[in-house]
Amino acid sequence: MAALSPRVRRRKDAFKAREISRQRIERLFSLADEEYVAHPERSDRYVGIARRICTRMRIRMLRHLKAKFCKHCGSYLLPSARRVRLKDGIITETCLRCGKHLRRPYSPAKSKRSLAPGSPVS
C-alpha cells in the first residue's frame, strides 16, 4: 500500500478545512438569524467570527450571506435593521446603525404580461 506524498496530503487537508469552514460560516449565520431578536449584539459577534474565518481560510463568502451584514460596521442586517430603496437598476440599502449606504446592481423582473406567448414585443 503506497502512502500519499506530503504534497497531495496537504492539498486534501486544505480542501477539507475549507469545506468545514464553509459549513461553520453557514452555521454562524443561521445562529445569528435565530439570536437576532433576543440578542442583536450576539448576532453581530457571529457575523464577525464568520468574516474572520473567511479571511483566515481565504475563501469567498457566499453572495446570499454577503448581503446579510453591513460592510462598514459589521452589524447583522435583517429587514428591520436596514432601509432598502430601488432605483434605476440599483439597490441601495442603508444600515440603520451606522447610516452607511450599500449599493448593488439588480435587474428588475419582467412582468408576466410581456413574457406571455403571442404578446406584442415593445
The answer to whether residue 88 is domain-embedded is: yes
**Is it the case that residue 28 has pLDDT exceeding 60?**
yes
The answer to whether residue 121 is domain-embedded is: no
CATH code for the domain of 80: 1.20.5.420
pLDDT-based confidence at 118, cuts 50/70/90? low
The C-alpha cell at 91 is 439597490
The span from the CA of 57 to the CA of 105, in Å, is 28
Q: What's the domain range around 80?
A: 9-108
Mean pLDDT on 85-111: 89
> Total domain count for the chain?
1
The answer to whether residue 13 is domain-embedded is: yes
Mean pLDDT of the chain: 87
pLDDT tens for 34-79 read 999 999 999 999 999 999 999 999 999 999 999 899 999 999 998 8
Whether 76 contacts 40, CB under 8 Å? yes
The answer to whether residue 114 is domain-embedded is: no
Nearest alpha carbon to residue 47 among 62, 25, 23: 25
Which pTM value belongs to this model?
Answer: 0.75
